[in-house]
Structure 1
């Protein structure tokens, strides 16, 4: 795309304000990097809706605010670095580079709008992670519809597409042999998808460059990769050509004001201008301001943090800001001059206290550099190596860590829990045998699952600060899950009536609740399922990347009900106990009636009965090839599922073999909505509660919660220490640490 006004002519009248068309702006911020970001700018943060609304405003002629630039001539001598703009928030940030003659301006305010403008002018090529569409089918009635739609690798079918719409579109493409639609890592994905909420979507970049209403027809804008039947249907739509021509004219001539800040002569002045002026749109958080200040003093921090964030071996379970926060906490924990030895939240006040102006920068910044900068003869830094090890301690591996969690479950852990693990690793990193021991791995997993299950949200901040402090002092011993849990009880993190239940007492409490017609469940958390199904989930989602998915509805797995919710609705007949047993779907939605299942498999059978789901047949048998369940045979036997027997399906579902007959009675095959029999209601209650106990018991037994709980709740420190496998040979060191934290 050729710019009509060369960038060299911007502000040519010596005025501090100019107007440029959005196409000129897109060219300037493109690959040549005529307009770039200063080192301290944050990364792209706008979501799909914000991009769509900006383009909608420009089409309607609404003002979208001005951009603020600064010239680069004054900053070359200050060694200021810059980077090109991302295409969207889902693409990798550009690497820092010194200012050169090709860079004319820096964006001080307006980065998010500039990125959105650039996206609409980008002709999509294989590997691009986002695409902007305009719905020309709404031209005649634009005021009543969304006009623009973003498709990206997080939401390849557009924002707010329903599960039914997605499944139908995937089926349409799959019939044509396009299996890439299920793979968010596939570079061709966005050439196959389109926004399902649009009537007639076409790429904005093609609309701006190819459509003129005369030489080119709107039919030329339809992507040829689409299914032929869909193309034929769209070709029949009545499109308002006059409205399209008007749209093209408005967007081609839309101008954005740009202000030039000339009188800035130092990095501090530039940072002050940035903080003062960058107040439109999405405001920067205190943590982002901290990171910007760090990049201002040490521009290399940006690339080093992104190297960690982009590494599959760290898994993207910590966002760049969380990585910076972890490093700051480590630096504080190792710096005796830092008051409090912890920085539980990143704030601008903390930045000024710890790092300060550039001329005063000293030891604390040096400690941060020591964690992030590459170590001698290594391509990664100390923190990068520590975070890799933390992920390995938590992640399931059939040989190296069989008690670990599958990758999707790691995204359920809070960033600050990761901080607690890395501070312990940092302070014990030279002891390779200790940090790689099975005891340390078990203790880390004990704490991770317990925190997720039992520490309520209102107490998580205090619990984390306490746990971080204990882990920082636990030098020479396995990860101190026992000490942390003991302190939880001693300081009131756990509620006064909390009972660390054994599997037996948990089962008894459920039975008692059933008899009393009371609350049936004290634990209801998805992590129990992730744990029980960890081997299957590991096989199915080995490349899981949490940043590829847009919200819980977009994940590659579903939380599937074993007895579907539809079986509890619109019932034919009901026993008087029905409403007691299933109040507000409490029992139906409890963990005992759930499994984690691949989404496109679940979409095929989510409302089916247990027989249809393959959960009731003989262990070594399978659907006969002439059976009515032909659809299952095809997808269940294929890779990566490899489920070729009913026993394999049950094992993958964490479904106990000994309970098959009980579930068969609960399912009432062929009469699922008839609840007149009291025995059937009792079978459902018993089946679901037994499975809840089955799930809890696995964690309790395999992570040795009984000995862990006894240690944590022991009232006298000196009694029977030698009997606890948590302690082993390190009782004197534990004594010393316990005295320090008490």
Structure 2
């Protein structure tokens, strides 16, 4: 008597090209992602390593599918591998423009190249794959392939790209992937060309490969870090390598064998997914349990997955709400809390855990309100919030900075959404300024924004919500001082110039005296709450430490100060791409070179420490960043880019005097260095403070002094 297996179907296996077709031939595919899948999260080096494993014949694990209601398949486990496999077959030179956006969870698809004549490789690689992405069109380092290229290498690569007339215009992230190539390589070719030539053209594969490269690639402009193709052209070297016995015995055979590679696939019956409600514990889905050894899924992502499973038809609505500003998973998290507040008579909605959400989604009242918001005015609420934060034609906040605020301070964004939801009047220019002042001040200087929002939540409906009277509630009436007055720029500058520049007070001892203006301001919010003198001293020190440490490292303030430059140079940059990429299209450049203080003897402690302050940082494009030449003085670095670098006369006066590395004992030069950095730090702070009139909401000083 046989026992029927009610959960597992007969195992299947799929070839690599078939797996690639699930996304490359999206409209005809019978495999799709279920609602409870997540985004593509692998790093570039993981993609390169996977393909090295495949060519070497290493097993890469099995996939897991389930039958769907319409007899198609859902991919439950293996999306990262399946998508990485697809990259190897993806040929952007031969794909219709309308097909480019049909990958499961990527808008900007990377291109895989292979170096067919590498003189160096990592200790673990046999085949040197090179992945190029939108923000790294030159690829990554070859030996340390999880590291980005140096500034010098990136600039050299960009200069080579610019030699191609088609790459002359716009920032480098606008350069077409058809005109880029990996820089840290010897003889790179698109891997899809190699696969297509060898697998589709038995005897004429060499001629076909050379013809494809000649027709599709900008071969006359290809130069790499290790090969400028001066003695022999790119095509001549390509022909020479593919004619060699070494190539035939290694790369050719490995690619030829790809047709024999089958990925084993387990298929579970659809009934197993219907048992989801019976699951309990921290990870309440089959998908999460399967991926527990992989890149772990976050709570918000899982909540979004559960939502999509409950309302599959609303997936597009959610993605439209967030646009490119915010991940769909965060949209659901925020809208869920708005719904929760509404059904609980406007009370503060605590963050929902995965299990909380699973329970709530079973409640008809919550489920109905959530669905109503998603299908109704949530899109308008989010759109108003985004537009307010960007403040186009007014404060012109860079989109990348808005995204950072939303992603890094979701509690503050929730507060803004609730205010917009309740406020039916036209938002005035003055209210916009106050909103920006509040959100940025709390995001950059707040001590506990979750607690802060909880304290003011019930006041959101007040007409004077964006006022000092309301916004100061958390630090006037509570002893934990989760927010505090923002020091007036002139008071800050006066104190830092005296203490740091004149007296050379070291960072660890940098604390205003009891009779200073700064401490007097802090005392004004403490005296009514704390009676003991020692308590007051400890509290003022805690407030100052929090403020000065956050200011010292606050790079978003630099972006605010340089916002015109960021908008003009990088207006098209979208940081919502799902393929994990490492950084922005600008470099964070030290004006006084970091290499002049790191691991160096006889350096004044303040010179070393203040070199890391935001006063010494600027955002700068590759075209303008000359930091690879550390012999350049700050004067030479800044002389032609003062406006872009947010350099004012009161700091330029001192930058222009610095001609080289400053050693201990060079007291006048030490003062020039500290004066330049302290003044620029205060200028950056003042630009934000004055532009948004922060003092109106977060200062107890007289603003006309």
Tell me the TM-score range normalised by the shorter chain.
Answer: 0.7 to 0.9
Q: Residue 387 of structure 1 corresponds to which residue in structure 2?
A: 382
Alpha-carbon spacing, 1:166–1:319, altered in 2? closer, same or farther (3 Å): same
Q: Residue 332 of structure 2 corresponds to which residue in structure 1?
A: 324
**CA–CA distance in structure 1, aligned partners of residues 312 and 53 of structure 2:** 35
Q: CA deviation at 1:678?
A: 3.1
**CA–CA distance in structure 1, aligned partners of residues 678 and 122 of structure 2:** 53
Mapped pair 1:54 → 2:83: no
**CA–CA distance in structure 1, aligned partners of residues 648 and 703 of structure 2:** 31
Tell me, which stretches of 5 or more residues in structure 1 are unaligned? Answer: 1-13, 77-102, 376-381, 616-645, 714-722, 726-742
3-state SS in 2 of match to 1:342: coil
Q: Residue 66 of structure 2 corresponds to which residue in structure 1?
A: 70
- Please tell me whether the aligned partners of residues 181 and 222 of structure 2 are also in contact (alpha carbons under 8 angstroms): no
Q: Residue 560 of structure 2 corresponds to which residue in structure 1?
A: 531
Mapped pair 1:556 → 2:585: yes
State the Cα deviation string for residues 294-315 of structure 1 (Å, max 9, x = none).
Answer: 1111002321122234x3xxxx
Aligned length: 604
Tell me, which stretches of 5 or more residues in structure 2 are unaligned? Answer: 1-7, 101-108, 141-146, 224-228, 278-283, 511-547
- Please tell me whether the aligned partners of residues 152 and 628 of structure 2 are also in contact (alpha carbons under 8 angstroms): no
Q: Residue 157 of structure 1 corresponds to which residue in structure 2?
A: 138
- Report the RMSD for the aligned CA atoms in angstroms: 3.8
Which residues in structure 2 correspond to 1:447-462 (within 5 Å)?
A: 447-455=438-446, 460=448
Q: CA deviation at 1:342?
A: 1.5
**CA–CA distance in structure 1, aligned partners of residues 162 and 11 of structure 2:** 52
Mapped pair 1:224 → 2:211: no
Q: CA deviation at 1:529?
A: 2.0
3-state SS in 2 of match to 1:137: coil
Q: CA deviation at 1:224?
A: 2.5
Alpha-carbon spacing, 1:58–1:479, altered in 2? closer, same or farther (3 Å): farther
**CA–CA distance in structure 2, aligned partners of residues 384 and 537 of structure 1:** 27
TM-score by structure 1 length?
0.72
Which residues in structure 2 correspond to 1:75-474 (within 5 Å)?
A: 75-76=69-70, 104-125=72-93, 128=100, 129-138=109-118, 144-145=124-125, 147-159=128-140, 160-162=147-149, 163-179=151-167, 183=171, 186=174, 189-211=176-198, 214-217=203-206, 219=210, 222=213, 224-228=217-221, 230=223, 232-233=233-234, 234-235=237-238, 240-262=247-269, 264=271, 267-268=274-275, 273-274=286-287, 277=290, 279=292, 281-309=294-322, 311=323, 316-336=324-344, 341-344=348-351, 346-356=352-362, 361-373=363-375, 375=376, 382-397=377-392, 399=393, 401-402=394-395, 405-415=397-407, 417-429=409-421, 431-433=423-425, 436-455=427-446, 460=448, 463-467=449-453, 470-471=456-457, 473-474=459-460
State the Cα deviation string for residues 419-469 of structure 1 (Å, max 9, x = none).
Answer: 5344444444464545x22332222222233234323xxx54xx2243156
Q: Residue 515 of structure 2 corresponds to which residue in structure 1?
A: none
- Please tell me whether the aligned partners of residues 40 and 295 of structure 1 are also in contact (alpha carbons under 8 angstroms): yes
3-state SS in 1 of match to 2:624: helix
Alpha-carbon spacing, 1:319–1:569, altered in 2? closer, same or farther (3 Å): closer
- Please tell me whether the aligned partners of residues 396 and 535 of structure 1 are also in contact (alpha carbons under 8 angstroms): no
Q: Residue 473 of structure 2 corresponds to which residue in structure 1?
A: 486
**CA–CA distance in structure 1, aligned partners of residues 391 and 633 of structure 2:** 31
3-state SS in 1 of match to 2:343: coil
Alpha-carbon spacing, 1:552–1:528, altered in 2? closer, same or farther (3 Å): farther
Indicate the structure whose relative CO is greater, using CA pairs within 8 Å and at least 6 residues apart. Answer: 2
Q: Residue 644 of structure 2 corresponds to which residue in structure 1?
A: 652
Q: CA deviation at 1:272?
A: 5.7
Q: CA deviation at 1:138?
A: 4.7
Q: CA deviation at 1:509?
A: 2.6
Q: CA deviation at 1:153?
A: 1.7
Which residues in structure 2 correspond to 1:556-595 (within 5 Å)?
A: 556-565=585-594, 579-582=604-607, 585-595=608-618
- Please tell me whether the aligned partners of residues 452 and 482 of structure 2 are also in contact (alpha carbons under 8 angstroms): no
- Please tell me whether the aligned partners of residues 172 and 227 of structure 1 are also in contact (alpha carbons under 8 angstroms): no
